[in-house]
Chains A and B, each alone.
Chain A
Amino acid sequence: MPIEIKMPALSPTMEEGKLAKWLVKEGDSVSAGDILAEVETDKATMEFEAVDEGTVARITVEEGTEHVLVGTTIAVIAGEDEDPEEAKSLEISEPAPQSPEPQKAEEKAADAAAPVEAEPSPEPVARSESEERIIASPLARRLAKEKGIDLATVSGSGPHGRIVKADIDSAKHGPEKADAAKSAGKAPDAAAPKIEIAQDTKALLDERVPHTVEKLSGMRKTIARRLAQSMQQAPHIYLTVDIQLDKLLALRSEINASLEPQGIKVSVNDMLIKALARALIDVPECNVTFAGDELIRYSRADISVAVSIPNGLITPIVSDASGRTVSSIAAAMKDLGQRAKEGKLQPDEYQGGTASISNMGMMGIKQFTAVINPPQSTILAIGAGEKRPWVMPDGDLSVATVMTATGSFDHRAVDGADGARLMAAFRNYVEAPLGMVV
């Protein structure tokens, strides 16, 4: 029997992906472990390996195809002693067989509309996404299901942002193929000259200003959706402290000197990750998720670290950062940061975390406020360490290296006093850094 190669679920919550690149072509022989293709999910590009041996008889999904549903057959491989030509003609099974029974189809449409709900996941991130109700017309839901379009990635043009048929039609065709979207079901609109631009974009466009229009990447859509959700749903409070860094810098020099033989270099940020994690253990009220009627308290501090990557941002996680040594954190961050920039992180390496840290000090930002990374309740925004006039404990004015840190807290879950205690604990660890390494 020829083997149908299906779109893999590369993470527990993955439902569809972009077939970014084929690394084999028809006629190639492959063996187990060979990389067949690169698959792009909303945040990362992953390699997809062959598990069987054989000859690639047919590639059924071209590279560059977006929204390929998990389970869709993307290629057919002929086994060792099979004729690839024969395998080529293998009838391909559909990922979700269409039911002629309308009631049943309806139920399925409902499943598609709230995919994550149907699949409980231990990932807090996934859980928060499932809480977003997607408003879409019954017809739009059914069409999206049929075309394999994730409604969460479609922006609605109906009343109150409701997703309607026209939105699915334009999502289906994408901007580059929008000519075909002038389907029978649409009112003639011959007067519109720039047909390839989506209706929503058109409404915002000022033709007088020179411009280009580009399609959003999956990552950009995810960032947009999650940050908008955070600002809309979580009332943010911001607590700012100035923190003296001299002792931490001195300790870092000592640590780096002692670790030099092992080739490990600890950054200030690695130490701040550790300090935040320790502070969260000390003030567990900030290490929580607001879950509507309930509150989730985490007893371990997994720190999501914002890393800027080309065209976006990703938050690899340093798990159990309070229990780890700073050298271990440094090693982990070096690896995660590197792979994040290459787009090679596994989903479980960036989905989750119990609190976040974002450091813009290296860009000379003195102070900023960050948007909470849902469903977490705490994010720390770190400004640049700089020499400032500083009043010493004895009352003398001196010069010290100081940074400004601002915590953003989900005020539904975290009271101001708890946030203040977290900021104080964080400052204490940074200003008396021996406390966090011993």
Chain B
Amino acid sequence: MSDQYDVIVLGSGPGGYVAAIRCAQLGLKTAIVERERLGGICLNWGCIPTKALLRSAEVFHYMQHAKDYGLAAKEIEADLDAVVKRSRGVADKLNQGVTHLMKKNKIAVHMGEGTLKSPTSIEVQGEKGAETISARHVIVATGARARDLPFAKADGERVWTYRHAMVPKEMPEKLLVIGSGAIGIEFASFYNDMGADVTVVEMLDRIVPVEDADVSAFLEKSLKKQGISIMSGAGVEALDVGKNHVKAKIKGKDGKVEETEFSHVIVAIGIQANTENLGLEELGVELEKGFIQIDDYGRTGVDGLWAIGDCTPGPWLAHKASHEGVTAAESIARELGNSEVHPHALDRRNIPGCTYCHPQVASVGLTEARAKEEGYELKVGTFPFMGNGKAIALGEAEGFIKTVFDARTGELLGAHMIGAEVTELIQGYVVGKTLETTEAELMNTIFPHPTLSEMMHESVLSAYGKVIHM
């Protein structure tokens, strides 16, 4: 039997649907299998709807601080239902966008639960029954889900994952957030802005532990100032889930265990790959802690079977998944004889990360500590928002930008930012890193005035003792 498709993509998140579009652009006959909603977690339950929620929280925050800007706003209140409704509206709009993109690129959409029957054929269990489709290549892009605590499963009533936290039925009064990665901190920030009493518990010795230590320290101070309780080096030992409350046994830094009552708990301790029951083990695909092991181009080692995104080793970020999707699509096209494409292998050091709390956090590359561990001699620059005209005009004088250079070669090893709009600024450094810039090009670049981006310039100048506005 000849294959129906050149490529089938299993999963339609930001990895899968981007891979499918790229395949179609390269002239490959492409299908995509999705069990729930096109767009995956990112569009429907992740990046996008949270940004909508956080935007509401931000506006709310500004309204509460209207006086700071010489404005008056009275009887300000938050309508959680309306905020959530807006967020869902945004997700729906993008979901339709992906549907349109599939149609435009003539990608066949098979709705249903997919299982691999061979490396290149998939049984799709849809509403109307099962069908088996086959292709010359299959890309697994099944993503991941929140990891549960071993002692308390998230039930959506009192114990939530991000997914429940996205569509709350009620406003939590006293909220415990377990885990201080991007997801935990964003919800802590959102619910704090919306008026909840929030406590964050982090097992490691600092919050946002993947970020530079200076950023963690600054964020902790800032969040505390906003009223969030932070317990780092602490662990939740047990949850006693009642009808109207949750009692949490928390072991603090000092080793003492205390029981505290909360109205709700958000579990954000990490993610787990959606790689069960797909038939991967049977095909001999190598899994490590559930994540599919791949080479730099997405090959699993089983002929014709590829994997990208959150079901593979991290970082588990939408833009990393999209990049891998394009790489895998182009690699497949190349294997099928298209010599015009030149797939670009993922460079893990050039993947930016963003956290949309208030203040925002964004980074790329090595932290100062990590660079030191790797034996680099460093030149490190920092520049505070306080020294930037635009930041002061915005009323956002909180934060800093830190840059880490290899003293020997001038290579930009890492950049770490905290403050207003830094998630929009970081790409400047990412472009620089991808182009293999040194400090010289950055110093010679003219940054527009007045912008927050001037701080990116000053931070580099500061690393080389040439800072102007300090």
Mark A residues whose CB is within 8 Å of B: 102-103, 105-106, 137-140, 142-143, 146, 159, 164-165, 184-185, 187, 189, 191
Contact = CB atoms under 8 A, between A and B. Distances in A.
A103 B443 CA distance: 9
A407 B439 CA distance: 52
B387 interface: no
A146 B409 contact: yes
B375 A102 contact: no
A403 B333 CA distance: 49
A139 B374 contact: no
A191 B410 CA distance: 30
Given A187-B347, A187-B348, A102 B437 contact: no
Interface of B: 295-296, 342, 344, 347-349, 374-376, 408-411, 435-441, 443, 464
Q: Which of B295, B349, B438, B441 gathers most chain A CB within 10 Å?
A: B438
Contacts of A139: 409-411, 436-438
Contacts of B410: 102, 105, 139, 142
Q: Which of B295, B374, B410, B443 gathers most chain A CB within 10 Å?
A: B410
Contact of B342 (A102, A138, A159, A165): A159
A142 B409 contact: yes
Contacts of B344: 159
A165 B410 CA distance: 12
B440 A165 contact: no
B440 A138 contact: yes
Nearest to A146: B409
Contacts of B409: 139, 142-143, 146
Contacts of B296: 187, 189
B374 A165 contact: no
* Among all A-B residue pairs, the 10 with the closest Cβ atoms: A137-B436, A139-B436, A106-B440, A184-B374, A138-B438, A139-B411, A187-B348, A138-B441, A139-B438, A165-B436
B437 A138 contact: yes
A103 B440 contact: yes
Contacts, number: 50
A20 to B, nearest CB: 30
Nearest to A199: B345
B295 A191 contact: yes
Contacts of B440: 102-103, 105-106, 138
17 contacts: A102-B438, A106-B440, A137-B435, A137-B436, A138-B435, A138-B436, A138-B437, A138-B441, A139-B410, A139-B411, A142-B438, A143-B409, A165-B411, A165-B436, A184-B375, A187-B347, A191-B295
B379 to A, nearest CB: 9
A109 B437 CA distance: 13
A165 B433 CA distance: 11
Nearest to B379: A102
A410 to B, nearest CB: 29
Contacts of A106: 438, 440
Nearest to A136: B436
Contacts of B295: 191
Contacts of A103: 440, 443
B436 A187 contact: no
Given A102-B443, A138-B437, A185-B374, 7 more contacts: A106-B440, A137-B435, A138-B435, A139-B437, A143-B409, A184-B376, A187-B296
A137 B438 CA distance: 9
A317 to B, nearest CB: 40
Nearest to A106: B440
Contacts of A140: 436
A138 B375 CA distance: 22
Nearest to A189: B296
Contacts of B408: 146
Contacts of A184: 374-376
B347 to A, nearest CB: 7
Q: Which of B376, B408, B411 gathers most chain A CB within 10 Å?
A: B411
Nearest to B463: A102
Contacts of B464: 102
Contacts of A165: 411, 436
B326 to A, nearest CB: 14
Contacts of B436: 137-140, 164-165
Contacts of B349: 185, 187
B439 A102 contact: yes
B179 to A, nearest CB: 26
Nearest to A187: B348
Contacts of B411: 139, 165
B122 to A, nearest CB: 26
A183 B374 CA distance: 9
A143 B438 CA distance: 11
A146 B237 CA distance: 55
Contacts of B348: 187
Q: Which of A105, A139, A146, A184 gathers most chain B CB within 10 Å?
A: A139
A316 B438 CA distance: 43
A139 B438 CA distance: 6
A106 B376 CA distance: 20
Contacts of A102: 410, 438-440, 443, 464
B335 to A, nearest CB: 12
A159 B435 CA distance: 10
Contacts of B347: 187
A23 to B, nearest CB: 36
Contacts of A164: 436
Contacts of A187: 296, 347-349
B394 to A, nearest CB: 32
A135 to B, nearest CB: 12
Contacts of B438: 102, 106, 138-139, 142
A165 B349 CA distance: 13
Nearest to A165: B436
A142 B407 CA distance: 12
A27 to B, nearest CB: 36
A138 B348 CA distance: 20
Nearest to B348: A187
A139 B350 CA distance: 15
